[in-house]
Structure 1
Amino acid sequence: MAGVGAEPGAELRVLAPGFAQGYRQCNLHELRAREFRRLAGTVYLDHAGATLFAQSQLANFTKDLMDNVYGNPHSQNTSSKLTHDTVEQVRYRILAHFHASPEDYSVIFTAGCTAALKLVAEAFPWVSRGPESSGSHFCYLTDSHTSVVGMRKAIMAVGVTFIPVRPEDLRLAEKRGAAACDPDCQLPHLFCYPAQSNFSGTRYPLSWIAEVKAGRRSPVSTPGKWFVLLDAASYVSTSPLDLSAHQADLVPISFYKIFGFPTGLGALLVHNRVAPLLRKTYFGGGTAAAYLVGEDFYVPRSSVTERFEDGTISFLDVIAVKHGFDTLERLTGGMENIQQHTFSLARYTYTALSSLRYPNGAPVVRIYSDTEFSSPEVQGPIINFNVLDDNGDVIGYSQVDKMACLHNIHLRTGCFCNTGACQRHLQISNEMVKKHHQAGHVCGDNVDLIDGQPTGSVRISFGYMSTLEDAQAFLTFIRATWLHPAAGHTTHPAADALGRGAAQDRAAGQDTSSPSPREGTLPALAAAAVGLCPAPCEAVGAQPTTSSGAAPVPDGDLGTHVVTNIYLYPIKSCAAFEVSRWPIGKQGLLYDRSWMVVNHNGICLSQKQEPRLCLIRPFIHLQHRVMVIEAKGMEPIEVPLEESSEQAQVCQSKVCADRVNTYDCGEKISNWLSRFFGRPCHLIKQSSSFQRNAKKKHGQDQFPAATATLSLVNEAQYLLVNRSSVWELQQQLSTSNENGRQESFPMQDLISRFRANIIISGTRAFEEENWDGISVGSLHFQVVGPCHRCQMICIDQKTGQRNQDVFQKLSESRKRQVNFGVYLMHTSPDSSSPCFLSVGSQVLPVLKENVQHHDLPASEKPQDVSS
């Protein structure tokens, strides 16, 4: 790939000669350092989803609010008059930005582009189908956003026909010689198309506006008058739009797409010749000139903006728009410069990406595009693709996203609210979409492959603050991850959110020179291993997970399945607490994931956002009814195991979309955590009176999920990992250094990364995925599915440092699914006496019905305890 090691910015100056002049007040690196310091160490490539606001933009807006009093614009006092006049000035500023005069266009503020489209669907002068008329037609390009397609639900309710039009069909309409509009027929029709595809970045000709309106390019052959709705939300984020030259009738936009803030405000630009035709079906505060409460008397206000802006508009957000335009102009010099800059980055990345090949000549990516990135007139700064393996098979977008997160590269995956374009480019039929939904796939989930076929793709996009280094970092990530897997641990300046190189992570993970903290404690575990631990008081030999080997097992057949380690994680995402014998509660191991750390907004923190959570070590003391929490450089602190009557009021939190009742553990532990993390944090515990039921999933109909309850875990009560599976992964991770010496991750290092509750000594790698359940003594567990792994397995649980090798190797070896370990569930024990899980206990697996015993070697056949 040419140019990756060149002087920063050199290629950009070649690709975009006018760039330096366009960003005339400073170079881009200075702009990033001053206005976007929060991007340090981050490669943000989702500008088509939402671009970023500049620091001075927010500072100037805040200063404006602090210096002025803005009242409700519907009032008549001085502060209200100031608001009204400022809002009207912003309307003019918007029109000027799009080269539109107030004589031609009006600006209606909405809650966003989607709200603007909904307004059109409800207000357009549709004519219903009748005995002598086909009525109005609503035509839309199949490469349209969901919010456009969704308009058909509103128009179908009034008896109007909708017709999807493929891009190639509209292009051919002119060649078919569509008849000019009948001047005597005024039947209104509406055609909607995007100026830029939010899927592929394809830019459709703005000349279509005039051609469709004049009848030279007709979406369908039907008499009537055509109006054009131009969906400009994606296009105007990086390009100028001249409405004086391309006079669309209706133009919806969202401001956060242009300058990042505010996020809850959009507008509908309405041509004034169309405004009188729009019909009002609802009126809210401020829109009525007069009305009566007792009878159907209502007179709307005269201007189109006053008629359709129901209630009090979000006037402070409107004022923020003014500062957005000010900042954009001051920092960039205008949309023409932004267009040239972002397109140059996209073309550079597209050219390099499309040239990447495996050693066998197979392409590394499949790019979904209608152009060859020849000009910003036909292509926006969006690249849509899927990564392929060297056999040409698609690697699921979810796996690409997880790998990108390890490099702190922010991109987007799925179908991007554009099913039509997704179907066309990925060749997904209507029947396949329905089949995928029946299989459980919904928009926005991580089901990326079904029967080996992709359900979506990967999208990167550039904004005005994007740099050449962003593009190069992304390309380096693709090359290092898929072209040179052995070098996958190499990093670039933006690869690690903590600023630590992955090579350092590997070195830290393999440092076994220091004595193991567990040395001297194994004899204490020996008695517990054979079930000699006393009744439910203290766990004998309980230690944190820093051991270098397995706990001892009883003499006998080493080929049997035996519990070798038991871990619980009292505080979600914090370090493990290793025990040899532990009571079983209603929600799993007693006190497992009973607490979690939340930020100042009450949002649960995980190691994906805060890797240092693994450095917080909790210890449970059952006899003293306290949990002791330790961390390096901090004094130990105690937290009671149960809430007291003096505890703060119960509050609600969320875990995996489930609402849970929790209570705050107090100011003392909050201050302790806040000092450790350097930001406000709280420790909360699930309320003992709250019951969170397990969710029943596909294939679990026989499991009484309604009677199984969960703590603050994500999926299930228990997670089981097989040492044989870990050993196989360890061998795959083994590498040779420059001296030829074999190196690998220590076994215990790998085990700790998977954060399981139960570790067993198995007989075959991944045999646990063929089990339907297990029995451990009198305890019976059902296997409810594999654990789909995320980026947390890349975090060294002793240091908090990242290394992507584990995730990458697991992805390669497990056919891209990255499953490791299985979830277990059980219902509450019937016996009133305490139940315990002990190290050294024999595990008796039950095979799934579709797995035949005779397919396994005799020494590896599990015992069927159901008989």
Structure 2
Amino acid sequence: MDFQKLCTFETFQRLWSHYGYGGNFRDVIEREFTRIKGAAYLDHAAATLYPECVVRDHCQDISRNLYGNPHSHSPSSRLTHDTVERVRYRVLQHFNTTPEEYCVIFTSGCTAALKLVAESFPWRRASRSEAGSLFCYLTDSHTSVVGMRGLSAARGAAAVPVSPQDVESRATGAVRGDDAACPTPHLFCYPAQSNFSGRKYPLEHVRGIRARRLHPACAHRGRWFVLLDAASHVGCSPLDLRECPADFVAVSFYKMLGFPTGLGALLVRNDAAGVLAKAYFGGGTAAAYLSAEDYYVPAANVSDRYEDGTVSFLDIIALNHSFDALYRITGNMHNIQQHTFGLARYTYMLLSSLCHGNGRPVAQIYSEGRFESPSTQGPILNFNLMDSNGQIIGYSQVDRMASLYNIHIRTGCFCNTGACQSFLGITDQQMKRNLQAGHVCGDSVDLVDGQPTGSVRVSFGYMSTFEDCQKFLHFVAECFAEKPVTVDPARLEGVRAVTAAAQSPTEVPNGEIKRVDENGNRGEASPEGLDSNSRREAHTLTNIYIYPIKSCGAFEVRDWPVGPLGLLYDRGWMVVNGNGVCLSQKREARLCLVRPRVHPPSNKLLLQAPGMDSISVPLENSRQVHTRHQVCQSKVCSDRVETVDCGDEAARWLSEFLGQPCRLIRQSPDSTRDAKKGPVGAATSTFLSLVNEAQYLMINRASVELIQKLMSSRQDYSEGDQLLDTQNVISRFRANLVIAGVEPFEEDNWSHLIIGNTRFVVAGPCARCQMVGVDQDTGAKTKEPLMSLSARRPGKVTFGVYLSHQPPSGEAAAAVLSVGSLVRPQAP
């Protein structure tokens, strides 16, 4: 079968008829989600998107109405109270229940709701006559669920992890009549849907647990309560609490509605509310108390009792508008479930069938079933990609390449270590060894000893489109499938019935990338060495660049002094947005068109940009300038640095050019940062300007020429991009120092080098991201050279090395680097 023909809307329609919500779905997306034009957002399990009408309606609401603190009795306070109560009712209505059955306690999110139960549940310690409380939780649970065991254990409960394979094991023995009289409370928590794999756990488990029939642990005497973690489930699926009468249900509204964030709820079944108790009471939670005596009477209303302080009432009011939009666009949650499941099922079918030219599968998918039904599978697809030898491709490389295509995915373990271990076969001992190897949750260490530490997840929301699937599938085939791309009909369930008879494996005709060997050769062509012209007898320094303003254009010089933080004036300034957050070319590619020029004689930094008059700011801050402009705290690569604002003229100039509010700030001369990368065992600290990792970045022209060769060999697959010349490629890597080397990537093996008479220590390789795709002359974005670099350097994609200058003991740091200087490298 032809993979390209399978990636069509016609094929999708034949496979699934429940797409969209009637009317013109495309018009709705173009009208309400204009900000995602050109992007494929596939991380809805983490946070779904909100339609723009919600923000407008909410803004109009809070602009027209006077909302006061709901804990008072003024007209504005009563309006807030009544509106919040209306939202509580609407939340219950969404889950098909009423205030007579459940109450709504607003929290900051699902995690806070789970923590509230852990803190308030009446855990009982074991005694000679009675067993203690049990806290059972599914190992396929979010970190926030597993974290409850710390609180429960501190209060005497025993934690019982339950694997998904054991969850339906029946309790042994009959339940004796006197068991019901046992007062010991137990809690069983499980997810309605796995946030890792999208597997849906049967909601009838709620009744089975409460009736003590589901798991052997449930045979313990006492009363069993059920806590349902519904955060992943309710984003795209209906939840009927009349059919699933859990005692406690935790949700996050941003996963359901996109807006507002920082708001969740704990839904408490009224007949279970009485077992909860809490020691702390805050504003609004007490009916009465005495300050000088241990006397406290909790509020009678359950919601009032557990909402410490003033709730986030403006965010709660926003839920009204989010629910309005959700139902107006989709009709109901059943329609959303059908729409999103169809997209996930289609993506699963094609991804699972995609093979390399040698017949090996491209993806290893982590799921319990084969996406047979929306009642058993949510719109989440979890997988790792593999090369043609069957080796896992690290998720960081997949994430980095996806960014080139403006595809938004999630990677790692997704705060679900239990499911990650189960699906990837990672033992407890391996998890500990990975930690010792430097891997922690949330980092980019994707492979340890060749084994994956996590995976890739795509997930769909109610506004996801077929084009999102298509773009993602083309991306995988183009970047990770070795040609000729083939399709395994046996894996493609259901397609034979709706497509033509199975064809021989065919090559994808357009847009696919061939794997190339380390010399840039494609397919079976014989290797070619580098041109003799690229061989040089000696290493020399060919270019020096400084970047006075972080992420702005380069300033090339021939001779330049070395300062205590690197090249003098390098990354001494940066541009921040209206919220004070550093702007980079990842967010604002036009920064490269801002060309700073350093002019020491006049003590000025000149700013130039197309279509703008030049302006200047002082190179050195006098005390008068320092006191006149605002001193502020900023962050660079998680480091807090003290900065000085450069004034309104520079702010207006940059804001006009970039089309958004922003300001120019510079590092305070009193502020220092320690280098993130540096020589092991260095006797003295290395300090940084506003650079990311180290004082200097150096690249090798021989390495650049190899990457050019790779790009040239792949040019017929490059979507029409012109072949980049040497200078264009050099400028994209934004190095301080460019050398003429002999062998490509030989610099990776150096430990020290001397340029002229100045000694440097190699601090490590520079990891590369999609920012190298920004053309420094135009601001346009291309997929090269990152695609060719990733093909040449699988795994952690690096290019160039970081350097630090550490003068010999007793020698002043002053030095000057000059173009043409001899470079003398030293290997370890």
* Farther-moved stretch of structure 1 (822-831 vs 683-692): 822-831
Asked if 1:813 corresponds to 2:792, the answer is yes
Residue 210 of structure 2, aligned match among 191, 213, 216:
213
Q: How many Å separate the matches in 1 of 2:446 and 2:274?
A: 47
Gaps of 5+ in 1: 488-500, 504-551, 849-867
The match for 2:504 is none
Say if 1:731 and 1:669 are closer, same or farther in 2 by CA, change over 3 A.
Answer: same
Q: How many Å separate the matches in 2 of 1:847 and 1:795?
A: 33
Q: How many Å separate the matches in 1 of 2:432 and 2:234?
A: 34
The alpha carbon displacement at 1:19 in A equals 4.3
The alpha carbon displacement at 1:636 in A equals 2.2
The alpha carbon displacement at 1:103 in A equals 1.4
The alpha carbon displacement at 1:4 in A equals 5.6
2:48·2:254 contact (CA, 8 Å) conserved in 1?
yes
The match for 1:540 is none
Offset from partner CA, 1:244-266 (integer Å, 9 cap, x none): 11100100111111111111111
The alpha carbon displacement at 1:564 in A equals 1.5
Residue 725 of structure 2, aligned match among 729, 735, 746:
746
The alpha carbon displacement at 1:168 in A equals 0.3
Q: How many Å separate the matches in 2 of 1:229 and 1:49?
A: 21
Asked if 1:843 corresponds to 2:799, the answer is no
Asked if 1:666 corresponds to 2:647, the answer is yes
Q: How many Å separate the matches in 2 of 1:709 and 1:146?
A: 37
The match for 2:240 is 242
| Paired letter, 1:581 | D
Q: How many Å separate the matches in 1 of 2:511 and 2:618?
A: 38
| Paired letter, 2:825 | P
Q: How many Å separate the matches in 2 of 1:284 and 1:625?
A: 57
Asked if 1:27 corresponds to 2:24, the answer is yes
Residue 589 of structure 1, aligned match among 559, 567, 571:
567
Residue 332 of structure 2, aligned match among 321, 331, 334:
334
Gaps of 5+ in 2: 486-509, 513-532
| Paired letter, 1:837 | L
Asked if 1:630 corresponds to 2:608, the answer is yes
The alpha carbon displacement at 1:430 in A equals 0.8
Q: How many Å separate the matches in 1 of 2:321 and 2:714?
A: 57
* Residue aligned with 1:669, SS: helix
| Paired letter, 2:759 | H
1:666·1:683 contact (CA, 8 Å) conserved in 2?
yes
The alpha carbon displacement at 1:828 in A equals 6.2
The match for 2:637 is 656
Asked if 1:166 corresponds to 2:144, the answer is no
Q: How many Å separate the matches in 2 of 1:836 and 1:105?
A: 74
The match for 2:699 is 721
1:608-647 pair list within 5 angstroms: 608-644=586-622, 645-646=624-625, 647=628
Q: How many Å separate the matches in 1 of 2:431 and 2:328?
A: 46
User: TM-score of the superposition, structure 1-length normalised?
Assistant: 0.86
User: TM-score of the superposition, structure 2-length normalised?
Assistant: 0.90
1:43-62 pair list within 5 angstroms: 43-62=40-59
* Farther-moved stretch of structure 1 (761-770 vs 653-662): 761-770
| Paired letter, 2:475 | F
The alpha carbon displacement at 1:575 in A equals 1.6
Residue 118 of structure 1, aligned match among 115, 125, 135:
115
1:106·1:270 contact (CA, 8 Å) conserved in 2?
yes
Q: How many Å separate the matches in 2 of 1:482 and 1:113?
A: 36
Say if 1:132 and 1:825 are closer, same or farther in 2 by CA, change over 3 A.
Answer: farther
The match for 2:661 is 680
Offset from partner CA, 1:460-490 (integer Å, 9 cap, x none): 1111111111111111111111226899xxx
Q: How many Å separate the matches in 2 of 1:474 and 1:449?
A: 23
Q: How many Å separate the matches in 2 of 1:771 and 1:7?
A: 47
| Paired letter, 2:184 | L
Residue 577 of structure 2, aligned match among 580, 596, 599:
599
Q: How many Å separate the matches in 1 of 2:3 and 2:461?
A: 21
1:509-524 pair list within 5 angstroms: none
Residue 567 of structure 1, aligned match among 542, 545, 548:
545
Q: How many Å separate the matches in 1 of 2:539 and 2:659?
A: 45
The alpha carbon displacement at 1:11 in A equals 5.0
The alpha carbon displacement at 1:326 in A equals 1.3
* Residue aligned with 2:825, SS: strand
The alpha carbon displacement at 1:419 in A equals 0.6
The match for 1:757 is 736
Say if 1:6 and 1:433 are closer, same or farther in 2 by CA, change over 3 A.
Answer: closer
The match for 1:476 is 474
Q: How many Å separate the matches in 2 of 1:824 and 1:502?
A: 38
The match for 2:84 is 87
| Paired letter, 1:804 | K
Residue 676 of structure 2, aligned match among 676, 695, 708:
695
2:396·2:796 contact (CA, 8 Å) conserved in 1?
no
Say if 1:788 and 1:590 are closer, same or farther in 2 by CA, change over 3 A.
Answer: same
| Paired letter, 2:819 | V
* Residue aligned with 1:598, SS: strand
* Residue aligned with 2:364, SS: strand
Offset from partner CA, 1:349-398 (integer Å, 9 cap, x none): 11111110001001111111111001000000000111111111111111
The match for 1:823 is 802
The match for 1:537 is none
* Farther-moved stretch of structure 1 (790-799 vs 426-435): 790-799
Asked if 1:142 corresponds to 2:139, the answer is yes
* Farther-moved stretch of structure 1 (765-774 vs 255-264): 765-774
Q: How many Å separate the matches in 2 of 1:219 and 1:322?
A: 43
* Farther-moved stretch of structure 1 (456-465 vs 602-611): 602-611
1:113·1:268 contact (CA, 8 Å) conserved in 2?
yes
2:397·2:794 contact (CA, 8 Å) conserved in 1?
no
* Residue aligned with 2:414, SS: coil
Residue 70 of structure 1, aligned match among 35, 58, 67:
67
Offset from partner CA, 1:182-236 (integer Å, 9 cap, x none): 2232321100000000001000000111011111112514222211111001100
Asked if 1:768 corresponds to 2:747, the answer is yes
1:734·1:743 contact (CA, 8 Å) conserved in 2?
no
* Residue aligned with 1:326, SS: helix
The alpha carbon displacement at 1:629 in A equals 2.0
1:494-505 pair list within 5 angstroms: none
* Farther-moved stretch of structure 1 (217-226 vs 95-104): 217-226
Q: How many Å separate the matches in 2 of 1:337 and 1:441?
A: 41
The alpha carbon displacement at 1:631 in A equals 1.9
1:212·1:219 contact (CA, 8 Å) conserved in 2?
no
1:382·1:459 contact (CA, 8 Å) conserved in 2?
yes
* Residue aligned with 1:672, SS: helix
Q: How many Å separate the matches in 1 of 2:275 and 2:237?
A: 30
Residue 783 of structure 2, aligned match among 804, 814, 818:
804
Q: How many Å separate the matches in 2 of 1:178 and 1:567?
A: 79
Offset from partner CA, 1:669-713 (integer Å, 9 cap, x none): 22222222122221111112211222367xx441245x2110000
| Paired letter, 1:298 | Y
| Paired letter, 2:42 | L
Q: How many Å separate the matches in 2 of 1:180 and 1:465?
A: 51
1:729·1:810 contact (CA, 8 Å) conserved in 2?
yes
1:178·1:215 contact (CA, 8 Å) conserved in 2?
no
1:261·1:321 contact (CA, 8 Å) conserved in 2?
yes
Asked if 1:734 corresponds to 2:717, the answer is no
Offset from partner CA, 1:819-844 (integer Å, 9 cap, x none): 11111112367545841011122222
Q: How many Å separate the matches in 1 of 2:785 and 2:365?
A: 28
Residue 578 of structure 1, aligned match among 539, 556, 581:
556
Q: How many Å separate the matches in 1 of 2:715 and 2:387?
A: 26
Asked if 1:185 corresponds to 2:165, the answer is no
Identity of aligned residues (%): 55
Say if 1:846 and 1:216 are closer, same or farther in 2 by CA, change over 3 A.
Answer: same
Offset from partner CA, 1:785-822 (integer Å, 9 cap, x none): 11111111122222222222321221121232211111
Q: How many Å separate the matches in 2 of 1:435 and 1:819?
A: 25
The match for 2:17 is 17
